[in-house]
Structure 1
Amino acid sequence: MASHDAGDLARRLAENAEAVCRRYLSAGRRHGNYWLVGDVRNTSGRSLFVRLHDTANGRAGKWTDAQSGEHGDLLDVIRESLGLVDFRDVADKARAFLSLPRPDPASSSQDRPVRERGSASSSEAARRLWVMSGPITGTPVETYLRRRDMTLLHGTGALRFHPRCYYRADTDSPAETWPAMIAAVTDLEGCVTGVHRTWLAADGRGKAPVEYPRRALGGLLGHAVRFGPVSDVLAAGEGIETVLSLREIMPDLPLAACLSSAHLAALIFPPTLRRLYVLRDDDPAGDHAGATLLTRTQEAGIECLVLSPRLADFNDDLRYLGRGAMRAILHPQLAPQDVARFLQSVTH
């Protein structure tokens, strides 16, 4: 191929994500599906996560620094780790790494600037999708949630329904439309900074049969899908279904779904927060997010407690063990004052 634009180079690098990390982020190491390192400039540490393979939560080659809030792709890794400025130099290094020929100067796109991280345009697109969506009552979203044993659907204004939400597996695939649960990602002032889409089967009896049924759009880092008003106590986890399962047992407890372990680790704390519960996911990335939050809360003078499910996650606990068992699981993990405040208020 004579020339390669930024998107093509990024995709090719992502196909060799671990090799890129070993070359340009040599101070880090692999941990499961992630490469962990201190930062994008190849400092030792564990704050930055690079996804090595595509998963339901994101694409290979994408990275997030939980400490600084930076995020990007492997072109950004090459640029920052080598201290480059011009995209021409970044592209040349990427082509050399991939053993690709230099492009034809007449058709080169190498002078284009490096793409803006977390661009305002994606946040605006997220807000447009949110406005175009409607209430979940009587829709496949309600069916989907109820089939996962979630019955307390009042107060879930952060969730909406879109009947024909566009889906594309990648830039070369044809567009499809599926029903979707649209979740608003908001900042502490309640402003929509992004959305999370869960594409659903037409009848709502499960997710749509697509390669990546969950995707986010817009500005997520530090923000969350929120249920309940800001308070002095907050429970935060990754998935929407996970935090809504906790709501079935403690309906008055404010909740935040951060959508990934990296975003959970980077959660911006409300100024009134005094105690944070972290809903633990049993994987290395989830463990690191919990450790990062423990350090950050200690520095901020906030108490941090980890809540662990008995099964894979709290939705599994809800579905397979039941509400009574969930209350028994949570009771010894809560601060005593929160048992009386939140747990014992459940009557159903």
Structure 2
Amino acid sequence: MPRNDASELAIRLGREAEAVCRHYLSSGHRAGRYWLVGDVRNTPGRSMFVRLTGPESGRGAAGKWTDAQSGEHGDLLDVIREALGLVDFKDVAEEARRFLALPHPEPEKTRTPTGSTSSPAPGSPEAARRLFAMSQPIRGTLAAIYLSGRAITSLSGTTALRYHPRCYYRPDEHSPTEIRPAMVAAVTDLTGHQTGAHRTWLALDGSGKAAVETPRRAMGDLLGHGVRFGTASEVLAVGEGIETVLSPRQVLPRMPMLAALSAAHLAAVLFPPALRRLYVLKDRDPAGDGARDSLVARAENHGIEAISLTPVEGDFNDDLRRHGANALRAGLTEQLHPEDVRRFMEG
């Protein structure tokens, strides 16, 4: 098939990206502007993310997907090929044309909302910004107690974190909404614009996370962005979880850091224009190795020096809690570039 015909089919599929995903990647689910699934062969999971919105072609186009675990990427024609096990492209094109000829429901994002027009759509960036604006600084709250229980006591530069005493929690679509205290984190892009929010629901005394099935959830536009501590320019450290990132920051308070919130989002972190050295905070978790390898490869392709920092225990918060700040400082000193030891740790 001529290349322009394939491109036209990919564009047409991109216009129906959510319907394509619901049909061929039925093991996944929608999360904001993305469809999350295990892989392009429709395995359950969250490693692969498909853009449901975006331009028709080029960077960030609707229908483009990336698997953070394997490093695979492609468009919706690839989804059809892999999901159905097709070999010849003419069969893929025939199936794509058959699918496009079917009537499809209007995507959720374009349906007319019911009720008050003043309320942002649940899970949208607007709802995330409203939640964060309604929250309060964390000092003296259950969020601070929770972090202290994780040996995170220095809260310098943590304005991205707030506390909401009555944050809505709904176990699933069939259950009633509950009200629980939560730590709320702002997800921002490279310019500092808030695109989403992350919630960690807490026990009523702040002693840990709430005893619910999913005590952590994110909302809004997350891909490429993260929870930022400090403003990055030439040096940045990135990791998955908020606690994982805040732990080395207890001994490196001046080093800019970012929590990507998941392995899939870690692989897709966008780099500041002036970045020249990237530290990747590892967890001893084989499931996330592919995402970290993908991030390191992307950084190196951009001419950015990438250095992995490895904990002694399962993650850096385990190191901080079990061995203390002095041991954590010593371990990081051995792994950091000497220039960054002088710049961020000494003095």
Q: Please report the TM-score for the alignment, with normalisation by the length of structure 1.
A: 0.72
Structure 1 runs not aligned, ≥5 long: 1-5, 41-45, 51-63, 90-109
2:297 alignment partner in structure 1: 295
1:54 alignment partner in structure 2: none
2: CA distance, partners of 1:223 / 1:241? 17
Which residue of the other structure, out of 48, 54, 59, is the alignment partner of 2:67? 48
Shift of 1:116: 4.6
Shift of 1:88: 8.4
Which residue of the other structure, out of 242, 259, 265, is the alignment partner of 2:261? 259
Structure 1's 279 and 142: CA in aligned 2 closer, same or farther, altered over 3 A?
Answer: same
Structure 1's 192 and 291: CA in aligned 2 closer, same or farther, altered over 3 A?
Answer: same
2:105 alignment partner in structure 1: 112
Matches within 5 A, 1:215-294: 215-294=217-296
Structure 1 residue matching 2:190: 3-state secondary structure: coil
Which residue of the other structure, out of 183, 186, 196, is the alignment partner of 2:185? 183
Structure 2 residue matching 1:162: 3-state secondary structure: strand
Contact 1:127 1:193 in 2 (8 A): yes
Structure 1 residue matching 2:136: 3-state secondary structure: coil
Structure 1's 124 and 84: CA in aligned 2 closer, same or farther, altered over 3 A?
Answer: farther
Matches within 5 A, 1:29-178: 47-48=66-67, 83=96, 89=102, 111-116=104-109, 121=121, 122-178=124-180
Structure 1's 84 and 225: CA in aligned 2 closer, same or farther, altered over 3 A?
Answer: farther
Which residue of the other structure, out of 308, 311, 324, is the alignment partner of 1:309? 311
1:98 alignment partner in structure 2: none
Identity across the alignment (%):
49
Letter in 2 for 1:48: D
Shift of 1:47: 4.3
Structure 1's 231 and 15: CA in aligned 2 closer, same or farther, altered over 3 A?
Answer: closer
Shift of 1:38: 11
Structure 2 residue matching 1:286: 3-state secondary structure: helix
1:14 alignment partner in structure 2: 27
1: CA distance, partners of 2:45 / 2:105? 31
Shift of 1:295: 1.4
Shift of 1:235: 0.2
Which residue of the other structure, out of 202, 205, 215, is the alignment partner of 1:203? 205
Structure 1 residue matching 2:333: 3-state secondary structure: helix
Cα deviations by residue, 1:291-331 (Å, 9 ceiling, x for unpaired): 11121111111000000000000000000011111122112
Structure 2 residue matching 1:171: 3-state secondary structure: coil
2:345 alignment partner in structure 1: 343
Structure 2 runs not aligned, ≥5 long: 1-18, 30-36, 53-64, 85-91, 111-119
Structure 1's 37 and 168: CA in aligned 2 closer, same or farther, altered over 3 A?
Answer: closer
The alignment covers a number of residue pairs equal to 283
Letter in 1 for 2:239: G
Shift of 1:332: 1.8
Q: Please report the TM-score for the alignment, with normalisation by the length of structure 2.
A: 0.72
Contact 1:279 1:308 in 2 (8 A): yes
Contact 1:258 1:264 in 2 (8 A): yes
Shift of 1:15: 8.6
Cα deviations by residue, 1:76-107 (Å, 9 ceiling, x for unpaired): x78xx853686884xxxxxxxxxxxxxxxxxx
Structure 1's 328 and 67: CA in aligned 2 closer, same or farther, altered over 3 A?
Answer: farther
Shift of 1:282: 2.1
Shift of 1:283: 2.3
